[in-house]
Each structure stands twice: as C-alpha cells, then as structure tokens.
Structure 1
C-alpha cells in the first residue's frame, strides 16, 4: 500500500483506529445480541419487539461496515473475528434467552455502552482534527442515544 498523507500522522491514525476497533466490537456484539433477541423474543409485546429489533439490527449491520471502512481508510486492519470482538468489546455477553423486558434492558445498556465508547474515541479525533471520524462517531452517538431513549420508554 502506498503511504497515507491525509494530514494526520501515523501514530494518531493508529490510536484512532484502535479506538474505532473498540466501537466496531461493541457495535458488532450489540448487533448479534439484537439479532438473537429478534429471533427469540416471546410474550405480549412479541410483534412490536420483533419488528423493532429487526430495525435495530439492520441499522447496526450497516454501521459495522461504515466503522470498519473508516478503520481501513485510516490505513489499518479492521478486526473481524469473534475472538477479536470478545477481547475488544465492552458490551456484556448474555447467556441464554432472557424474557422480553430483560431483553429491552440489556439492549438499552448496550446502546449506552456504545455511546460511551464513541465518546472516549471522539476525544482523540479533536486533537488531530480528524473530522471524518468525528462525524462518523457523532452520528453513531446520536443514533444510539435515541435508540436507548426509545427502549427506556418501553419500560416506563
């Protein structure tokens, strides 16, 4: 590969790519949980949750691609295995199939965790004027904050 000269030095790009790898791992773990819950939700809210979870995992599937492509744009390899995601993710794994309300609570916490991970990475982008990554992270935070709000509203 030829050298990258986008106005951000290699060490800064590396640190940002490592942060984005954590965002990617959190997002992929949340995607997998959401898809699992879509398949396995039961109860009085089945239809509403089944359809909502499908909307969420579809959006997350697109997001993980965008995040991975940003890592590649910065000149680094995106993680892509369960082993790497497990090591990098801050989103807690769930054993078994929880009941519907617990699914909502778990996904709320997952979306909030992605926001926190994004916030930790966006600080790095400010220092080196990496607006491309900052824009991606800002959009992700906004979406995850709104999704967490909507999930919390189901439990009130």
Structure 2
C-alpha cells in the first residue's frame, strides 16, 4: 500500500475508492441519506397502518400494506450500501432519520382505512418526486449505477401509488 493510501485510510477510514469526484460523493451521499430517511419513515408508517388496519376490507388492505412494507424495507439496505460503495457514510440512528426525513410521521391514535390509504398514496407520490430529483442529480454526475437503481425504485413507488390511487378513487 502506498503512502498516500495509508494517509487516506487514517484520515477517512470509511472512504471507498471511486472514480467519482469528491463533490459527487458528497452530494450523492447526502441525497441517498435523505432518501434512506424518507424510506424508513414510509416503511414505518406503512407498517403502522398495516398493524392498525380495521374495517370490512381488513384482510385485503392488511395484506397489501404488508406487501408494500416488505418492498419498501427491501430498499433500505440497497440505498445504504449504494452510498457506501461510493465512499459516503450512511445513517446511524433513528435520530439521524428524524433530522433528515421529509415524509411525515402519523402518530394519531386512530386513522380510518380510507385516510390511511390516501395518506400512503400521497407519501408514495412524494417519494417518486424525491427519487426523480435524486435521479437528476446522480445523472448529472454520471453516476450510472445509482441512476439505474433509482429508476427501479421509481417504478416500484409508482406501482404502489397506482394501487393506492385505485383503492381510494371514490374518495377523491
């Protein structure tokens, strides 16, 4: 190992070699951490509504939200590891999530099934907008790998939005 790499390892022990410029790593890492915070917030809200679902469509809604929750949670490791591959650090705590999240929590004692689905529909639409902004940034830095996985996440979030839209259509 050459002297430069030894010094770099001491100064930035979590740095990962990449051909992206340091400003790209900084900006994309920050964008991925914001996205990760939002995905964790959406995951927990989806599971909250899954756990507290009630009413005549309980089984269908309960199963749908479980499926959505699993899909959303699956994103978390991929987002964090994508940032680490670039040499950025990732979220470290629930407090870190709460400082970065843009998708709002819902701590209400009771939320009707219709309101749950409508809120999740809107949150998934917000997630699509966040993903599109991040896609634009990663594309501008020629980070093709991150741009590519974001395209898949956009498709998944649009599908969740579509299902939730169709389920709440009459209440619009």
The residue aligned with 1:72 is 84
Matches of 1:125 and 1:89 in 2, distance apart? 20
- Are 1:114 and 2:127 matched, yes or no? yes
Aligned 8 A contact 1:22 1:117 in 2: no
TM-score, normalization by structure 2: 0.86
The residue aligned with 1:140 is 153
- Are 1:49 and 2:75 matched, yes or no? no
TM-score, normalization by structure 1: 0.94
- Per the TM alignment, residue 129 of structure 1 is displaced from its structure 2 partner at its CA by 0.9
- Per the TM alignment, residue 4 of structure 1 is displaced from its structure 2 partner at its CA by 4.1
Q: 1:3 to 1:72 in 2, by over 3 A?
A: closer
Aligned 8 A contact 2:49 2:65 in 1: yes
Structure showing greater radius of gyration is 2
Where do 1:1-156 residues align within 5 Å? 1=13, 4-96=16-108, 97-156=110-169
Matches of 1:102 and 1:148 in 2, distance apart? 14
- Tell me the alpha carbon deviations over residues 98-130 of structure 1, each in whole angstroms, 9 at most, x when there is no partner: 110000011111111111111111111112210
Count of residue pairs the alignment pairs up: 156
Aligned 8 A contact 2:18 2:87 in 1: no
- Per the TM alignment, residue 147 of structure 1 is displaced from its structure 2 partner at its CA by 0.7
Aligned 8 A contact 1:26 1:91 in 2: yes
SS in 2 for 1:155: helix
- Per the TM alignment, residue 14 of structure 1 is displaced from its structure 2 partner at its CA by 1.0
